Amino acid sequence: MWKIGDVEIDNRVVVAPMAGVSNAAFRTIVKEQGAGLVVCEMISDKALLFHNPKTLKMLHIEPEEYPLSIQILGGETKTMVEAAKYIAKNTDAAIIDINMGCPVPKVTNNESGSKFLKNPDHIYEVVSQVVDAVDKPVTVKMRCGWDKAHYYPVETALAAQKAGAKMIAMHGRTREQMYRGQADWNILKKVREALSIPFVANGDIRTPIDAKNALEITGADAVMVGRAALGNPWVIHQMVHYLETGEMLADPSPAEKISQAIDHLNRLIQLKGEEVAVKEFRKLSSYYLKGLPGSAKYKETLHTQVEAIPMIQLLKQCGSEAQERLDLRQYQLNHKNEE
């Protein structure tokens, strides 16, 4: 157990915020898989303050998600402070996180996301004002730099700490790298050593062994896992279990994977209605099908679906075919051994 401010976090596996993914449907699933902390997808400060209906819906939280962190995105102190106050007043979020890592030009052109990494003074200003405005712990999620010429991982993290941040999560890539190359866990270790507040390591943590190695190499309090949990929420349970016991749990069967995928779709329907949910689940279905033998042809058809029932039927067919292929492979293998 560790703490962010006075919020207790049960274990050392945090699920990363992912725009278009980390809504209540996904978050409740990974929470059931044992995530110590889940973070909401980024919410634009200005969209929130304009009461954009889609943005307000993003604030929907289920009670079982506690402790949840809501992430805000923006570049101006005034609107970030107002957005944080709005969240503190109107939601059950336990933690307010500030996005200082998003690399997308639409975001960085507005002085927000990873643009902060060029200017530790700007980090200090925004974080300190948000910290003063709310009585919930404020945390920062950042990358380790903008590019090679603007690379201040320790300075930016220290600016956030000095401003009163209660935890920092750092992705070991620069903005320039986007998702290329490898996340640098060695720089995360240097940042960890410079900080006195809790620190969470992020980037390329895909397996239980990665989680253990990243914790050992960086000395972080926890790991943050993003892409590895897409269509693969069990990896969170596998990581938590491995870190606690050293035992590696087996991957789920195709039937279990498909049943989780259908459950995810149903939760999305509850949250957003069938039309939007089916559209959003097209892409997510590919993640669930990854690695299932024979799934390639289903992926294309799934991407054209507009209704839930045919989508669910296709998922089930794909699961049965994958199981048949696996059984056949196993039979052939056993048979070969007998010869």
Ligand X SMILES: Cc1cc2nc3c(=O)[nH]c(=O)nc-3n(C[C@H](O)[C@H](O)[C@H](O)COP(=O)(O)O)c2cc1C
Look up residue 297 and give its two tokens. Answer: 């042809």
Q: How far is the CB of 199 from ligand X (least distance, A)?
A: 14
* Phi, psi (rounded to 5 degrees) for 100: -130, 35
Give me the 139-158 binding string for ligand X, x by CB under 6 A, dash otherwise.
--x-----------------
At residue 54's C-alpha, the angle toward residues 142 and 202, to 5°, is: 20
Q: Which of 186, 160, 162, 158 is nearest to 173 (CA)?
A: 186
Q: Is 21 in the site for ligand X (CB under 6 A)?
A: yes
d(CA 296, CA 289): 8
Q: Which is nearer to ligand X, 16 or 48 (CB)?
A: 16
* Token digits of residue 33: 């898989």
Write the binding mask 219 to 248 for ligand X: x where contact by CB under 6 A, - elsewhere.
------xxxx--------------------
Q: How many CB atoms lie within 10 A of CB 106?
A: 9
CB of 141 to ligand X, least distance (A): 4
Nearer Cβ to ligand X, position 11 or 99?
A: 99
Task: Pick the closer one to ligand X by CB: 239 or 292.
Answer: 239
45 binds ligand X (CB under 6 A): no
Nearer to ligand X, 9 or 322 (CB): 9
Alpha helices in 15-119 (DSSP H): 24-32, 45-49, 53-57, 77-90, 105-108
Q: Give Cα 79 to chain centroid, integer Å.
A: 24
Pick the closest to residue 172 from 198, 149, 151, 195 (CA basis): 151
The interface region with ligand X, picked from 56-64, 94-102, 207-215, 329-337 by CB under 6 A, is: 94-102
Q: Which stretch binds ligand X (CB under 6 A): 119-127, 202-210, 285-293, 299-307?
A: 202-210
40 an active-site residue?
Answer: no
Residues 256-285 touching ligand X, rule: CB under 6 A, are none
Residue identified by tokens 């975001």 is: 107
Residues tagged active-site: 102
Q: Which residues bind ligand X (CB under 6 A)?
A: 16-21, 41-42, 71, 99, 101-102, 141, 171, 202-205, 225-228
